[in-house]
Every structure is written in C-alpha cells, then in structure tokens.
C-alpha cells in the first residue's frame, strides 16, 4: 500500500485584524496511505478545515511541507478533489451540467462530459434528476450532486470538509452509508473533516484527534471494526466514549465545551 499524502512539521499562522499573529496549526505530522479513509476530528476552530484547504492547495502553510505522492503541493490539482460543507452548485446550471463543470474546464468534449456526468449521477442515485436545477432538490440530493461533481474528475485523493454537517440526522446517516458504498466501489483515498464522534467512528479506518486552537494532533485511533459497522455494537460505543472523553478534556482545556453530534 503506497503513501498518498505526507504532512511534515506543518505550521499555519494568520494575521488578526489587530495585526498580531495567531497560530492556527502547530507541528502537524500526518501520513495518509492509499485507499485509506481518514477522519480529522476535533472541536470547532481547531484548524481541521484549514489543514484540509492546505492539502487542497487553497491555502499555504507558514512552515513545514505537504507532499502528494512525492511532489510538494503548491496549488490546486485535479488529482485532489474537494467537497465543501456548502453545496457550491451553480444555480443557473442543471445538475448534469454542474457535475460536468470540472470536465468542461479540462477541455473534455461535450459528448464525453455528458457520458461521464451521467455515470456519476447514477453512482449517487440521481439519474432521474440530471435536468433539474439545484433549487429543485433537497439538501441531501444537492450534496450527492456535489460529491458526484468531485468524483467525475476522477481524483486520486478526495477531500471532504464536513459535507454532511448541515443535514438532518436521518439524511446524514443515509449519506454516510452512501459515501462508504462509493468509497468501497471506487477505492478512493479520503481525508474527511468532522466534529462528530459518531460519524468518525462509523466512517473511518483511522481517526486523527486534534486539540483546541492552535490545532495539534493529540492522538490517533485505528478503528478495528468490520464494515458495515453497527452503532449498537459495544465496541462502537466504547470507542465513541473514549474519544469523546479525550475531546472533552482537550476542549475544556481550551475553555470551551464539546458536542458529540
């Protein structure tokens, strides 16, 4: 199994409105292997999304290195697909045309774009909605379309920034199951940001816990449970409780409280 991503001694600082430097990430070391599903878990404001954006090439680290398959990441690339918390679909384009957007930018012919977009529409169960517009779909369906758009570009590494955070609990569970089905079928490598302990335990091969700001990696858990995982499995509850206790301790140390949602 090859190494897809290596983050070494990464630090990120921002300038505040007062002109002072604020540390967002501190001494991050992280390796992600081929076909691995890794969840970044931590309280709000711990730098999870900032780290994901750096891997995507949308932000630059203040120091340290981020390497994708032996090459330093210096900007966005088609080999790294991004799914945001917001659906980020263009309202004036049909769902089919939204999915084919990246292919269009890459100069793929209209016929090939259509065929590939239809393939990924079917993959996420939206084959009957290609001619619909985003406002005509539910939130869960729009997020499925956003996932299909990212996958249509055939990325090697899929980056997901709390993609189910704005959905109701039942739809979130359905899309978690759908994402695992797609991951197992297409065998992508996934780096997934969440602040939900239950979601991380359900999805991940490995869970990387991050501290309150400045974000540091405080512990990593391997999830040694076969899929599909059952939330009623005692091991599921035990691991969830262990992680929640650690997160609560870290978060309280930072002066906040943590919700396990």
pLDDT tens across 233-253, in order?
A: 999 999 999 999 998 887 666
* Residue 19: count of CB within 10 angstroms of its CB: 6
Query: Which of 158, 167, 237 lies closest to 202 in space, CA to CA?
Result: 237
In a domain, 130, yes or no: yes
In a domain, 71, yes or no: no
In a domain, 104, yes or no: yes
In a domain, 106, yes or no: yes
> What pLDDT shows up at residue 17?
76
Q: CA-to-CA distance for 145 and 105, rounded, in angstroms?
A: 18
CA 45 to chain centre: 16
What percent of the chain lies above the pLDDT cut of 70? 95
Segment 85-103 shows an average pLDDT of: 88
Query: Which of 4, 26, 81 lies closest to 210 in space, CA to CA?
Result: 26
Segment 106-118 shows an average pLDDT of: 87
In a domain, 126, yes or no: yes
In a domain, 8, yes or no: no
> What pLDDT shows up at residue 209?
96
Q: Which domain holds residue 116?
A: 86-152
Least confident of 64-73, 80-89, 203-212, 238-247: 80-89
Q: What pLDDT digit, counting tens, does each position of 129-176 carry?
A: 999 999 999 989 998 899 999 988 889 999 999 999 878 889 889 999
Is the pTM above the cut of 0.85?
yes
Strands (E) across the chain are located at: 3-15, 21-33, 37-41, 63-68, 71-72, 80-83, 157-161, 189-194, 206-210, 217-222
In a domain, 173, yes or no: no
Q: What pLDDT digit, counting tens, does each position of 174-187 carry?
A: 999 999 999 998 88
Number of folded domains that form the chain: 1
Segment 63-89 shows an average pLDDT of: 91
In a domain, 94, yes or no: yes
């Amino acid at each position: 199994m090859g190494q897809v991503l290596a983050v070494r001694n990464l630090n990120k600082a921002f300038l505040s409105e007062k002109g002072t430097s604020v540390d967002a990430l501190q001494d991050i070391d992280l390796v992600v292997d081929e076909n691995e599903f890794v969840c970044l878990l931590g309280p709000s404001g711990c730098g999870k999304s900032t780290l994901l954006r750096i891997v995507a090439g949308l932000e630059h680290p203040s120091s340290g290195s981020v390497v994708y398959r032996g090459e330093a990441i210096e900007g966005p690339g088609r080999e790294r697909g991004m799914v945001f918390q917001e659906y980020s679909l263009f309202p004036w384009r049909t769902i089919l045309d939204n999915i084919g957007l990246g292919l269009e930018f890459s100069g793929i012919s209209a016929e090939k774009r259509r065929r590939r977009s239809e393939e990924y529409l079917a993959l996420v169960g939206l084959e009957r909605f290609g001619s619909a517009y985003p406002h005509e779909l539910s939130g869960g369906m729009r997020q499925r379309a956003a996932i299909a758009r990212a996958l249509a570009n055939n990325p090697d590494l899929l980056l997901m920034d709390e993609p189910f955070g704005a959905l109701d609990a039942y739809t979130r569970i359905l899309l978690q199951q759908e994402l695992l089905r797609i991951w197992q079928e297409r065998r992508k490598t996934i780096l997934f940001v969440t602040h939900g302990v239950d979601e991380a335990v359900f999805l991940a091969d490995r869970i990387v816990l991050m501290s309150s700001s400045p974000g540091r990696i405080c512990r990593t858990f391997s999830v040694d449970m076969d899929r599909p995982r059952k939330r009623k499995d005692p091991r599921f509850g035990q691991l969830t409780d262990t992680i929640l206790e650690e997160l609560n301790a870290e978060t309280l140390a930072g002066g906040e409280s943590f919700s396990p949602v």
